[in-house]
Structure 1
Amino acid sequence: MTAPQRPQQSQFLRRPSLKESKFLTEALRTETVGGLILLAAAVIALIFANSALSGTYEDIRNFTFGPSSLDLHLDLTHWAQDGLLTVFFFVVGVELKRELVDGELRDPRAAALPIIAAVCGMAAPAAVYVAVNAAGGGDLGGWAIPTATDIAFALAVLAVIGSHLPAALRAFLLTLAVVDDLFAILIIAVFFTASINLVALGFAIAGLALFWLLQRLNIRGWYVYVPLALVIWALMHASGVHATIAGVAMGLMLRVTTRPGEEVSPGERIEHQIRPLSAGLAVPVFAFFAAGVSVNADSMAGVFTDPEPLGVVLGLVIGKTVGITLGSRLAVRFTRAELNPALSWPDVFSVATLAGIGFTVSLLISELAFTDDAGLAEETKAAVLTGSLIAAVLACVMLKIRDNRYRVLAAEDERDEDRDGIPDMYQQEDPEYHLRMAVIYEEKAAEHRRRAEMRHPPGDPEDGRA
């Protein structure tokens, strides 16, 4: 009788595929630059809000324009929040579709690991916030504020400290952020939609159906899709559902697989074009309008004494770290996965701490959670900035401690001794690879012998054969 086979082991924090690694490198390069611009925008906003220019800054934020008949007479803050962030969420939708179809989330067994980690990394901060506010008599409406991770800001921190995160950790961080964004979108759609205009929502869904049909008919041309996208966005905004949901929906509808004769899919091509706009303009402009909070002794004291902002800070710093680390351990324990032997649990803990940087979506949820209490919204936004800063500093310290080890792992990831443009680690299972490497080593040995003979020709007294 044949013995039953044990379930195949999977690896947690495994090295991404070559295709995934190339995409990851390009995406992180754009997001890192965008993150630095985002950081600069936030600093400028804080300077404006806490200087003699604070009145001018408020006038700019509150400047309104747009057609009232279409419910689009909005101030600049809401144009950035509802309009520009739609571009960001469109990119998130494309990323999520690519991950589900051709990325790390394609294999359900492998996808379970980052999904469990991300879910725990959102549930724990929410639980921390609720516990703090239940004990302190605070407003429980802000429970979702500390649940989000800002990938652009996290990557900006990595760029500043120069950490050579290996490909496996970078892929884990990016996948965590994508799953995190998905659940943040669901939270916004479900919990922050007060009333719905069914007529406008119906027309918006009809517009999305037309968008999907045009995609399937392989219709191309920005002059078709841009006007259609604007109409869908306006209808979604008028429906009462947060307008950014339109961006996610359209991103999810793009085709991310290639057909015969195509070098890249429409989704990849459009994402490549839109991502710089999202990372370099849309998100920084939103941050400029959202991050300008008043910072003084009283407001900072309130961050650590009032239950709402304190719950946000503890949720980001403690909840995120504990949630992602615990979720990862549970995933390894119950999915028969094994931790990548090149890494250790302190590495997971460091990345989990880095994920406590919640900026863009956390600021957005602060606005949505306390629309009727501007003072509390400002306090929780200050808490988001404070918690993100603390998480960034702690992550920097821990990542720097392991930086030398990361340099070795990153160098191994990038090693390409046969100089064919493909890192050697992806060719280890290729029989022809070993033949090519043998030839390279023989050529190096011959070159070494030739140089030795040039220094000490045969017959030279210093040559051992004389």
Structure 2
Amino acid sequence: MTQNRGSVRLTALADVLRSDVVAGFLLIGGALLALLWANSPLGGGYDAIRTFTFGPESLHLNLSVEAWAADGLLAVFFFIVGNELKQEFVHGELRSPRRAVLPIVAALCGMVVPALIYAGVNFSQGDALRGWGIPMATDIAFAVAILAVVGRYLPPALRTFLLTLAIVDDLGAIIVIAVFYTDHLSLLPLAGALLLLGVFGYLQRGRGAAAALNRSPLPNWLVYVPLAFAIWALVHASGVHATIAGVAMGMLMRTVPLGGEPTSPSQRVEHVLRPWSSGVALPVFAVLSAGVVFDGLDSMFTDTAAVGVVLGLVVGKVIGIFGGSWITTRLTRAELNPSLSWIDIAGMSLLAGIGFTVSLLIAELSFPDHPEMLAHAKAGVLIASLLATVLASCVLLVRSAHYRKHGLPGAEAPPAPESALDGN
């Protein structure tokens, strides 16, 4: 009886953690805890914990605790995001190329304009110009979390738009890191990762392989977990940001059941992993990544690197995403989802100004020999993210209230039924 009660409680907790709103509060709480801890008298202990390194050096995995969280735990979240996008591309909102192209173009414009604004501010500032890539990235984890908290009644299409935009944005930022901020790219581990991704995709899509795994007396996770870890480790060893492995595997998931399967692998894995992502991966990542020490704020506001970051994220993202989307609908056959209005896109564009993980990473790669400039750039990322959160929340809370009042399609609407698209 006691065991049954414990099982029921764990099931109930997992159901709670599957909520985007709960995940959002946990993520925000973790970030606030990190900021308070890092700037308190106990800040030395915080820094000692997140810089502690462990792992096998032979596999290039002797990493700090902070890196394990940002590269490892966050890959679980990116897997779920990639998996969710795959479902949208196959069965949902993004099946229509006319709608799928809009967030992709918006993401590209939302990268280029902030970079240009930063470069304009720092054009004659010597080494500060190296940070042009910092304001390009949108932090998908924080942006989705804030949207869940403030936009309960917003149309689901807005979340899909943000997910697509943020994934393309992160992929673009990773390419920028590989091309402009990485000393060398190891092609052999990258080729190995691509080969194993091919195996992963075949096990998902190949009817014979999928059927054999389903008939096997061994649980599927005994095959997929080691395979997934090997893919992640090889991507990490290649010099590419390891979270891309999570996105790639998520996009390869099969979204329709085969044979006698009650649900697709995509649905089953998401059901199992989402509570771990929301309750463990994201909060731990936030605690270990958000602890920026605010020293010398007065001099930060005269540092062009910090000013460029703030303007790029808060102003550049809105101009790039909103402007790029609007122009695209005027010049091409691309269209905005009918359930959305342009003020919704404006609010989401402000939300995309939340730069965090990748922005902080690019800052570290930009100024390895300029600690003061690095500190100011990191502080600029956090200040810009706070401003973007406040401004976006003002717009999106009003829009959410509008949709709730008028009973228009909101986030509580049920998902579209799956279609019988073979092999996906």
Shorter-chain TM-score tier: 0.7 to 0.9
Match of 1:315 in 2: 312
Matching residue of 1:412: 408
Q: How does 1:51-450 map to 2 (within 5 A)?
A: 51-158=40-147, 160-161=149-150, 164-215=153-204, 216=206, 217-218=209-210, 219=213, 221-296=220-295, 298=296, 300-336=297-333, 344-371=341-368, 373-409=370-406, 411-413=407-409
- Matched residue, 1:22: none
Q: Does the 8 Å contact 1:124/1:319 carry over to 2?
A: yes
Letter in 2 for 1:333: R
Q: 1:250 to 1:412 in 2, by over 3 A?
A: closer
The Cα offsets for residues 51-76 of structure 1, whole Å up to 9 and x where unpaired, read as 11011111112212122222222221
Kept in 2: contact 1:96–1:178 (CA 8 A)? no
Shift of 1:189: 4.2
Alignment map for 1:4-15 (pairs within 5 Å): none
Partner Cα separation in structure 2 for residue 406 and residue 41 of structure 1: 30
Aligned letter for 2:170?
D
Task: Supply the distance in 2 between the matched residues of 1:167 and 1:69 (Cα, whole angstroms).
Answer: 45
Query: How much does 1:192 deviate?
Result: 4.0
For the aligned residues, what is the CA RMSD? 3.1
- Give the aligned residue type for 1:378: A
Shift of 1:322: 1.2
1:314 Cα deviation from its structure 2 partner: 0.7
Q: Is the 8 A contact 1:35 1:154 kept in 2?
A: no
Q: 1:100/1:371 Cα in 2 relative to 1: closer, same or farther (>3 Å)?
A: farther
What is the CA–CA distance in structure 2 between the aligned matches of 1:161 and 1:232, rounded to whole Å?
36
Amino acid in structure 2 at the alignment position of 1:211? F
- Cα distance in 2 for partners of 1:263, 1:201 equals 35
Conserved in 1, the CA contact under 8 Å of 2:93 and 2:157?
no
Aligned residue number for residue 456 of structure 1? none
Q: 369-378 vs 144-153, which deviates more? A: 369-378
Counterpart CA distance in 2 for 1:381 and 1:53 is 20
Q: How many residues align?
A: 392
Paired with 1:144 and 1:271, the residues of 2 have a C-alpha distance of 32
Contact kept? 1:152, 1:279, Cα under 8 Å: no
Distance 1:160 1:233, change over 3 A: closer
Shift of 1:317: 0.6
Question: 1:163 touches 1:406 (CA, 8 Å); kept in 2?
Answer: no
One-letter code aligned to 1:107: S
Q: Quick one: structure 1 residues 265 and 182, their matched pair in 2 at CA, closer, same or farther if it must change by over 3 Å? A: farther
Counterpart contact for 1:149–1:359, Cα < 8 Å: yes
Once residues 245 and 411 of structure 2 are traced to their aligned partners in structure 1, the CA distance between those partners, rounded to angstroms, is 42
Structure 1 stretch displaced more, 187-196 or 318-327: 187-196
Q: Summarize the Cα distance change of 1:273–1:192 in structure 2 as closer, same or farther, 3 Å threshold.
A: farther
Go from structure 1 to structure 2 and tell me whether the alpha carbon gap of 1:135 and 1:415 turns closer, same or farther (over 3 Å shift): closer
Task: Report the CA distance shift for 1:138/1:191 in structure 2 as closer, same or farther (over 3 A).
Answer: closer
Q: Which residue of 1 aligns with 2:3?
A: none
Report the AA paired with residue 408 of structure 2: E
Q: Give the corresponding residue for 2:6.
A: none
In 2, distance between residues paired with 1:227 and 1:168?
35
When residues 364 and 261 of structure 1 are mapped into structure 2, their CA distance, relative to the original with a 3 A threshold, is farther
Paired with 2:369 and 2:267, the residues of 1 have a C-alpha distance of 40
How far apart are the structure 2 equivalents of 1:101 and 1:401? Answer: 32
Partners of 1:180 and 1:263 in 2: CA distance:
35
CA distance in 1, matches of 2:262, 2:23: 26
- Give the secondary-structure state (helix, strand or coil) at the position aligned to 1:305: coil
**TM-score, L = length of structure 2:** 0.81
Name the amino acid aligned to 1:327.
Answer: G
CA displacement at 1:292 relative to structure 2:
0.9
Provide, for residues 158-208 of structure 1, a one-character-per-residue CA deviation record: whole Å limited to 9, x for no partner.
Answer: 455566323443443333334333433443444444213344334333333
CA contact (8 A) 1:93 1:251 kept: yes
Q: Percent identity?
A: 55
- Taking the aligned partners of 1:79 and 1:163, their CA distance within structure 2 comes to 32
Please give the per-residue CA displacement for 1:185-233, whole angstroms capped at 9, x wherever unaligned. Answer: 4434444442133443343333333323333311351011111222232
1:412 match: secondary structure = coil
Aligned equivalents of 1:28 and 1:280: distance in 2?
6
Assess, with a 3 A threshold, how the Cα gap between structure 1 residues 199 and 154 changes in structure 2: closer, same or farther.
closer
Gap change, CA 1:211 and 1:369, over 3 Å in 2: farther
CA contact (8 A) 1:283 1:360 kept: no
Unaligned stretches of 5+ in structure 2?
1-14, 215-219, 417-424
1:75–1:372 distance in 2 versus 1, CA, 3 Å? farther
Partner of 1:47: 36
Could you list the runs of 5+ residues in structure 1 that have no partner in the other structure? Answer: 1-25, 427-466
Cα distance between partner residues in 2 of 1:263 and 1:374:
55
